[in-house]
A and B are shown apart, each in its own frame.
Chain A
């Protein structure tokens, strides 16, 4: 096992880890640079999920954690980190909606890309350092080819299933950086596609055949929604893992072919970048409202109780509309926003009579629980469960509304 692309982040982070840098952390409302907080990560392959907010040892392998700054940013699905925005919008390259990824943030110099600091500063030539973004393991779980994206139980392999207009199911294979697997690694993977035979209604098994770096099966044209699952063994002799797919239409490749890799440390600032947008991030999103559902856009918690209640109602309706659209994986965004609104209302409970507090506080606790329930069920993708969780959620909202007078 190698440390692979992580080495880039790690070396960079190590070089920049110094007390001075931390002490110089700009803060305060007036600060023009709001740095993402320092996180301490494990560089051991397979332990990338270890993230602490203090220095120390990895709780899985004991290695010393290295500092890094992680930020949640918006970028083109097909050109990860080529363009980086701090809010949703449209990809200037191919016009698709930006997707959210977790990236490591650091600072470098235009003329000396070897410089990699955790904090902004001045370069040897007197110029101001520029911000750059690097990929982070599991930072990008977005489909790259318009299909459906899953992580394997080993937390390292990732797959994406697409259903092409030619009647072919194609499975793309990735590592933990959503980088396509090398041919050598792809060769270790085998699988079978199971699809319902429209004539007999029985299950039909079609072997997944390797074609270059992906696996595919010719299943012909199925009626939509086309449901199928793949049984995949990631190593010879491994147990099969099942991945369920449901296609409402043929998968459409994003307009621009995806870049082969997203592990280059400095894509945003590389002088070799030939694309029209050699962006120095963060690029302001061109027009967030036109492409991204407002339910996905976090907004600050308002000051007053009536505003909080109004926003809570909006978020509740947004959850409902995501459920109706089948956008289960996105439910958690408005659900957690609503949860934070409810917790903000909890801070105002002292303004209520005892009787009203007796209604409000348990209702807020129920809302917190059902927000996490919606989050969990959203990942599982079973609509019946999600609706039950939503019932609980919306009844908690109603009780909160009844406890807090709309006008104080």
Chain B
């Protein structure tokens, strides 16, 4: 389902919901009076500008700009649905469960202001009030990278395609091994670069061994890039990038409806930020995979992995999970204490790495317990959506990656 179709569908369904109406069983209103004390100019625009402008801006990757009143108000119903469903801003982890860095969310007050405006007649505010024009910012958010690697070739999304995927192989050209704290992507044509995964090509053998390896192996996925999201530099830990390594850059290109029928080309640039400190801990990966089809019929899957050495957990990423399920990860230490780590409502196209606010220290023998609920938790889509999302099959692959460091390892050269 395309973003466009999804938004239009939400819009139509929401409109239909209003008109088909409710069974008014009590003396009360079938509909509410139309008034919002918040206006676009004074209240809504500043929030949209600060929280949504990196995508919802002319030339941005989102299907619509929200940076002017005329652009925003037709989407009011859609905005309501996306906010209520917690689909926007895109941050799929449940806040308050575990402590994660850089939660990209709206405050309760901001939520209420936008929802009140979206459901309350969408007032503009003073008609002659000039709002500052908001232009697309397409720049390195961490500053210029230490090494900028333009993709070797341009890629064109054909006129008759709405989305496409392409993998580029990019030689780093480094002559010695390096510690890397972050990898970012600067889109050449921001409106079509929807997501990217940047991996080390040299470690493909080690990576495939990682799933079954008894011990953590070096992390080879350097970045899950998403539009509008700041890269999170690893602190006190780093990726080990061998000399002359090659990067595999897999980009998901997606056109919005404005560009339907047009061919668009992109040549993005990969940016590499080297670690400053001399001996960071190497970022390792530990796979957590469902053992196989689940025997129970409750549509829940639970599996655990026991740590066979002392580690600090620094990040987690859902590598291969079905969309629209909820996944929870909890650590159970040998003394029985439980540490909530993350709870996610998965959505396709929004995979990322979630960094813990501070490293979680787990002694050997700690069990990492993953519980997946396969019934669609997305009740808003079920209500407004067309065909209901079928529950994920219990045989679906389910794999998450836990990034850890060995806190007791001696500092070493990359």
7 smallest beta-carbon distances between A and B, as pairs: A56-B127, A362-B95, A362-B96, A141-B30, A102-B33, A327-B26, A364-B108
Instruction: Render A316-354 as a binary contact track against B, CB cut-off 8 A, 1 for contact.
Output: 000000000111111011000001001100100000000
In B77-101, which residues have CB < 8 Å from any A CB? Answer: 80, 83-84, 86, 94-96, 99
Q: Which residues of A contact B19 (CB under 8 A)?
A: 150-153, 155, 241
Taking the closest CB of chain B, its distance from the CB of A331, in whole angstroms, is: 10
Answer yes or no: A99 CB below 8 A from chain B CBs.
yes
Most chain A beta carbons < 10 A, residue from B17, B29, B119: B29
Query: Which of B50-58, B109-117, B222-230 touches A?
Result: B109-117
Distance between Cα atoms of A138 and B20 in the complex (Å): 15
Are A149 and B24 neighbours in the complex by a CB distance under 8 Å? yes
Q: Is the CB of B21 within 8 A of A365?
A: no
Residues of A within 8 A of B107 (CB): 346, 361, 365
Cβ contact within 8 Å between A51 and B29:
no
Docked CA distance A365–B39 (Å): 21
Q: A141-B29, A152-B19, A373-B380 are in contact. Are A49 and B34 (CB under 8 A)?
A: yes
B244 within 8 A of A: no
C-alpha spacing A153/B16, complex, angstroms: 8
Instruction: Give the complex CA separation of A126 and B23 in angstroms.
Output: 50
A358 lies within 8 A of B99 (CB): yes
Contact of B83 among A53, A359, A369 (CB under 8 A): A369
Specify which of B15, B69, B96, B111 is in contact with A399 (CB 8 Å cutoff).
B96
> Does A72 lie at the interface of the complex (its beta carbon under 8 Å from any beta carbon of B)?
yes
In the complex, whether B379 has a CB less than 8 A from a CB of chain A is yes
**Please, what's the 1-or-0 string for B1-35, where 1 marks a CB less than 8 Å from any CB in chain A?**
00000000000001111111111111111111111
Residue pair A365, B108 in contact (C-beta under 8 Å): yes
Question: Which of A22-30, A193-201, A212-220, A378-386 has 4 or more CB atoms under 8 Å from chain B?
Answer: A378-386
A372 to B80, Cβ gap below 8 A?
A: yes
A51 to B117, CA, bound (A): 12
Q: Which residues of B58-88 are within 8 A (CB) of A?
A: 69-70, 73, 80, 83-84, 86
Which residues of B are found within 8 Å of A5, using beta-carbon distances? none
For residue A250, CB closer than 8 A to chain B, the reply is: no
With A245-B23, A329-B22, A372-B115 already in contact, 11 other A-B pairs whose C-beta atoms are closer than 8 Å? A52-B123, A53-B125, A54-B127, A55-B127, A241-B20, A244-B23, A246-B23, A293-B26, A329-B24, A361-B96, A376-B14
> Which residues of A sit under 8 angstroms from B119, Cβ to Cβ?
372, 375
B30 close to A365 (CB less than 8 A): no
CA distance A222 to B20 in the complex (A): 24
- When the two chains form the complex, which single residue of B25, B39, B123, B379 contacts A388, counting CB atoms closer than 8 Å? B379
Tell me the bound Cα distance from A97 to B17 in angstroms: 27
Closest Cβ–Cβ distance, residue B188 to chain A (whole Å): 36
A149-B96 in contact (CB<8A)? no
Indicate if the CB atoms of B112 and A376 lie closer than 8 Å. Answer: no
Q: Taking the nearest CB of chain B, how far is it from the CB of A332, in angstroms?
A: 7
By the criterion CB–CB under 8 Å, are B23 and A328 in contact? yes
Tell me whether B108 and A346 are in contact (CB under 8 A).
yes
Taking a contact as CB atoms closer than 8 A, the residue among B25, B29, B127, B380 that contacts A328 in the complex is B25
Residues of chain B within 8 A (CB-CB) of A326 are 25
- A12 proximal to B (CB < 8 A): no
State the B residues within 8 Å of A (CB): 14-35, 37, 39, 69-70, 73, 80, 83-84, 86, 94-96, 99, 105-109, 111-112, 115, 119, 121, 123-128, 379-380, 382-383
Q: In whole Å, how far is B258's beta carbon from the nearest beta carbon of chain A?
A: 22
CB-CB under 8 A from B109, the residues of chain A are: 343, 346
- The CA of A150 and the CA of B379, in the complex, are separated in Å by 25
Q: Are A382 and B383 in contact (CB under 8 A)?
A: yes
Q: Using Cβ atoms and an 8 Å threshold, which residues of chain A touch B112?
A: 339, 343, 368
Interface size of A in residues (CB-CB distance below 8 Å): 76
Complexed CA–CA distance, A151 and B18 (Å): 8
Judge whether A51 and B96 touch: CB under 8 Å: no
- Are B115 and A329 neighbours in the complex by a CB distance under 8 Å? no
Q: Give Cα A242 to B17, complex, Å.
A: 12
Whether A372 and B30, one on each chain, are in contact in the complex, defined by CB atoms closer than 8 angstroms, is: no
**Alpha-carbon distance A72/B33, docked complex (angstroms):** 8
Whether, in the assembled complex, A311 has its beta carbon less than 8 Å from a beta carbon of chain B, the answer is no
Distance of A380 Cα from B24 Cα, bound (Å):
10
A150 touches B111 (CB 8 A): no
Q: Which residues of B contact A358 (CB under 8 A)?
A: 96, 99
Q: What is the CB-to-nearest-CB distance from A246 to chain B, in angstroms, rounded to a whole number?
A: 6
Of B28, B128, B383, the residue contacting A380 (CB under 8 A) is B383
Residues of B within 8 A of A373 (CB): 84, 379-380
Residue of A nearest to B24 (CB): A329
Query: Given A70-B35, A139-B33, A361 and B22 touching (CB < 8 A)?
Result: no
Q: Which of A102, A153, A330 contacts B26 (CB 8 A)?
A: A330
Contact of A99 among B16, B27, B123 (CB under 8 A): B27
Name the contact of A57 in the complex, choosing from B20, B37, B127 (C-beta under 8 A).
Answer: B127
A363 on the interface (CB 8 Å rule)? Answer: yes
Q: Find chain B residues with CB under 8 A from A361 CB.
A: 95-96, 107-108
A115 proximity list for chain B (CB < 8 A): none
With the chains together, A322 CA to B99 CA distance in Å? 36
Cross-interface CB contact of A342 among B26, B33, B84, B108, cutoff 8 Å: B108
Distance of A376 Cα from B395 Cα, bound (Å): 34
Q: Is B28 in contact with A100, judged by CB distance below 8 angstroms?
A: yes
Give A362 to B86 CA distance when docked, in angstroms: 12
User: Does the CB pair B33–A99 fall under 8 Å?
Assistant: no
In the complex with contacts A53-B125, A54-B124, A245-B23, A329-B30 CB distance below 8 A: yes
**Residues in A whose Cβ lies below 8 Å from that of B31:** 138, 141, 151, 379
With A54-B126, A150-B30 as contacts: A328 and B108 at CB distance below 8 Å: no
A269 contacts which chain B residues (CB < 8 A)?
none
B147 to chain A, nearest CB (A): 37
> Which chain B residue lies CB-closest to A147?
B24
Bound form: Cα–Cα A381–B108 in Å: 26
Residue A398, interface by CB 8 Å:
no
A326–B23 alpha-carbon span in the complex (Å): 9
By the criterion CB–CB under 8 Å, are A378 and B22 in contact? Answer: yes
A346 to B109, CA, bound (A): 8
A96 to B27, CA, bound (A): 9
Q: How far is the CA of A56 from the CA of B27 in the complex (A)?
A: 36
A-B contact pairs, 28 of them (CB 8 A): A51-B35, A52-B125, A56-B124, A56-B128, A100-B28, A138-B31, A143-B24, A143-B27, A148-B23, A149-B24, A150-B20, A150-B21, A151-B19, A241-B19, A245-B23, A326-B25, A343-B109, A346-B108, A362-B105, A364-B108, A365-B95, A368-B111, A368-B115, A369-B84, A373-B380, A377-B383, A381-B23, A385-B383
